[in-house]
């Protein structure tokens, strides 16, 4: 009697090399799949350099993100390059303030072409000037909601109050997160289901609320007086 070749014995163990080989064959044998090669790297400083890597079939854009973050009074500048979906990709500057000592400004560049994200892009400038607007503020790890009981003062061109939640991935670890704070209108580009790359993490949004920050009471009253007279 021959050996029992059941379903389990026919399974092929997946490996990164086999995955890359399969992706390469898919790109070669199926013309409708547009496979892209992007420079992929992460490093401290205004730029980074890495090897060209084949993107997953659904990721049709290369992106470079340069982020200037301030946490607890310490400032850091970092750069990342990767693949992502072009429909989710945003080119330009984004500023977000989550707390009095937690601020981030980034510049992103998206493109479609093999190796098009090589080189460097402009370093974002940190504008810490208070603009008089305020938003609910909170940060929560391992959960998808936070109350926003605190209030944070917006800076620079931040005119929107955001409430983002979902999952965040760093390496092989994925956890839940939730956060509220101030942001520029450019942050409202992010939608539910979007994968948002940052310098250190990749966020998948399950909630993406973005509303104009309320005007300070003094400004509202002043406008009312002008209207009356």
Q: pLDDT tens across 68-86, in order?
A: 998 888 899 999 999 999 9
Contact yes or no for 37/52 (Cβ under 8 A): yes
Cβ neighbour number for residue 131 with a 10 Å cutoff: 15
Q: pLDDT tens across 33-70, in order?
A: 468 999 999 999 999 999 999 999 889 999 999 999 98
Residues 36, 172, 174: CA angle, nearest 5 degrees: 105
Q: Which domains does the chain have, with CATH numbers?
A: 17-27+34-213 (2.10.60.10)
Question: What confidence category does residue 5 fall into, taking pLDDT thresholds of 50, 70 and 90?
Answer: very low
Chain-centre distance of CA 211, in angstroms? 19
pLDDT at position 228: 36
Confidence check: pLDDT of 92 > 60 = yes
Q: pLDDT tens across 145-164, in order?
A: 999 889 999 999 999 999 99
198: Cβ contacts below 8 Å, ≥ 6 apart: 65, 67, 80, 106
pTM score, whole prediction: 0.76
Rounded Cα distance, 54 and 66, in Å: 22
Q: Which of 65, 224, 201 is nearest to 179 (CA)?
A: 201
């Amino acid at each position: 009697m021959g050996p029992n070749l059941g379903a389990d014995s026919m399974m092929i163990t997946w490996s990164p090399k086999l995955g890359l080989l399969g992706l390469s064959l898919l790109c070669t044998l199926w013309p409708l799949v547009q496979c892209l090669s992007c420079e992929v790297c992460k490093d401290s400083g205004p730029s980074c350099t890495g090897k060209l890597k084949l993107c997953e079939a659904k990721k049709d854009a290369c992106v470079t993100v340069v982020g200037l973050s301030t946490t607890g009074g310490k400032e850091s500048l970092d750069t990342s390059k990767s693949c992502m979906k072009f429909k989710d990709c945003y080119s330009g500057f984004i500023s977000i303030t989550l707390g009095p000592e937690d601020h981030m400004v980034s510049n992103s560049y998206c493109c479609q072409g093999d190796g098009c994200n090589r080189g460097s892009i402009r370093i974002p400038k940190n504008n810490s000037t208070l603009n008089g607007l305020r938003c609910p503020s909170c940060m929560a790890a391992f959960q998808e909601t936070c109350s926003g009981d605190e209030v944070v003062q917006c800076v620079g061109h931040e005119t929107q109050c955001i409430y983002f939640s979902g999952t965040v991935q760093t390496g092989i670890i994925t956890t839940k997160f939730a956060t509220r704070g101030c942001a520029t209108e450019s942050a409202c580009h992010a939608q539910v289901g979007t994968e948002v790359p940052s310098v250190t993490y990749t966020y998948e949004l399950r909630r993406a609320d973005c509303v104009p920050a309320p005007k300070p009471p003094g400004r509202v009253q002043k406008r009312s007086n002008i209207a009356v007279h």
